[in-house]
Amino acid sequence: MKITDVKTYLVNANEGTNWSTRPRGRNWLFVKIFTDEGVTGVGEGGGWPFIVEKAIQELKYFLIGENPFAIEQLWLKLYDVLHGHGATGAVRGGVISAIDCALWDIKGKALGVPVWELLGGKLRDTIPVYGHASTPQAAENLIDRGYRFFKCSPKVETIKTLREAVGYEVEIGVHCHAEFTPSAAIQLGRGCEPYRPMFLEDPVVPENIEAFAKVAEKVAIPLATGERFASKWAFTELLARNLVDIVQPETTRLGGITELKKLAAMAEAQSVTVAPHDGSVGPIIEMANVHVLASIPNCIFLEHKADDVPWRLDVAPGAVPEANGEIRVPDAPGLGVDINEKVAADHPIADIDAFEYSFRTPEQIQQSFVR
C-alpha cells in the first residue's frame, strides 16, 4: 500500500461562540490521506489551523509514495523535515498530529480493527468527560446531563458558590489560563483549598518551571497543565520533578496518537494521570483521544465542550456523542469516523477582517498579576 494524496479541510466552527481573540476565529483542520488500495484515513491538526493547513499542503509531497503503515518512520521523517521550525513548535506539532492520526486510521481500517486494538487493547468501554461551568445554573445543567466533573473560572468566590450549590458529590477544577504570578496563584490556591478542587490548571506560565515549582510547594491542590505544549519533551522536567499531577496535552499540537501514547507512558512512570485538552477542537481528534485513553491505565477523564456547533457530529460521521457524562469507545475499524465534505464545505473559514478582536487591555493584564 502506498500514499497517493493528502487533502485538507479547514472548517469554521465559530457559530454561537465568541472566539474573537483568535485570528480568523475558531477553526478545525481535518485531513484525509488517500492510498492506492482505496483505504483512506482521517486526522485533525491544530496549533494554528490556517497556517498548519498551508504547511501540510506543501509537505504532502514528502508522504506520497510512502507506506502508510510505517507510522513511526513517517512521524520521524516529518519531524526531521520540519526541524528548522523548532523542536516544540506548534506548527510542527500541528502538521505531524494531523498526519499521524490519519495514518493510524488507515492502519486500523486496513486490518479491520479499531485503533485502540493496535495500541494494546481496551481497558475501559467508556471515557468520562468533564465540562465547563462557572455559575450554579450552568453546573446544574451539566449535572442533570450526567456530568460528574467540570471546571470553573479562577476565583475563590466562584468555587465557593458552586460548592454551596452542588455539594461535594461532583468534582470541580479551577482553570487559571496561566495568568497569575506565583504569589497570586498561591493566594488563589490556598483560598480554594477548603472547597477541595480536583485540580488547579495552569496557575502560572507552565514554561516557567521554577514558578510552577513555587506553586506546587505551597498549594495543597493537584496541579494540571499541558495544553500549550507541542511535544512530549516539554513535559519532561515537570514530570521528573513531580510538579504536575495531571497532564493535559492538546493532541492536535502534541504530535498525534503516537505522541499521546508515549506521553501517557512517561506520566504513568511518575504516577501522573492523563486528561487531554479537548475543549475547542473538533470531533476527529476527540475520537483519537478516546482510542488512546481506552488503552492506557492512567486515564482520568477527557475535557469536552458540552454545547458546540449543532453540526459537530454531522461533519464527522461515526463520531460518538457524549451521553450521561461519558463517551463510548467505538468498535469500528480505525478511528471509526470519516469527513462529510459537504458539511465541511458549508462552513468555510471567515475572512480575517470579519472579526472585532477583543484582547485584554493593559489594565486587565495588570490585574491578573495582583489579584
Instruction: Answer whether 118's CB lies under 8 Å from 111's CB.
Output: yes
Q: What's residue 85's pLDDT?
A: 62
The predicted structure's pLDDT at residue 16: 61
Name residues of the chain where pLDDT drops below 70.
Answer: 16-23, 84-88, 353-360, 364-371
**DSSP per residue, 254-309:** HTHHHHHHHHHHHHHHTT-EE----SSS-HHHHHHHHHHHHH-TTB--EE--SS--
Query: Which runs of E-coded beta strand occur in the chain?
Result: 3-12, 27-35, 40-45, 126-132, 149-152, 171-175, 199-201, 223-225, 246-247, 273-274, 302-303, 322-323, 326-328
> Hey, what CATH topology would domain 3-112 get?
Enolase-like; domain 1 (3.30.390)
* Per-residue pLDDT reduced to its tens digit, 68-103: 999 999 999 999 988 766 555 778 899 999 999 999
Domain ranges of the chain: 3-112, 118-335
Q: 277 catalytic, yes or no?
A: yes
- On whether the pTM is more than 0.85, the answer is yes
Residue 347 bears catalytic tag: no
Q: Residue 367's pLDDT is what?
A: 66
195-226 exposure pattern, b = at least 16 Cβ within 10 A, e = fewer: bebbbbbbbbbbeeeebbbbbbeebebbbbbb
Angle in degrees, CA 34, 109, 82, rounded to 5: 50
For the chain, the average pLDDT equals: 93
> 49-59 vs 90-111: helix axis angle to the nearest 10?
60
Question: Which CATH number is correct for 118-335, 3.40.50.300, 3.40.30.10, 3.40.1190.20, 3.20.20.120?
Answer: 3.20.20.120
Q: At what angle do helices 209-218 and 182-192 cross, to 10 degrees?
A: 30
Tens of pLDDT, residues 316-353: 999 999 999 999 999 999 999 999 999 999 999 877 76
Q: Name the catalytic one among 132, 277, 291, 347.
A: 277
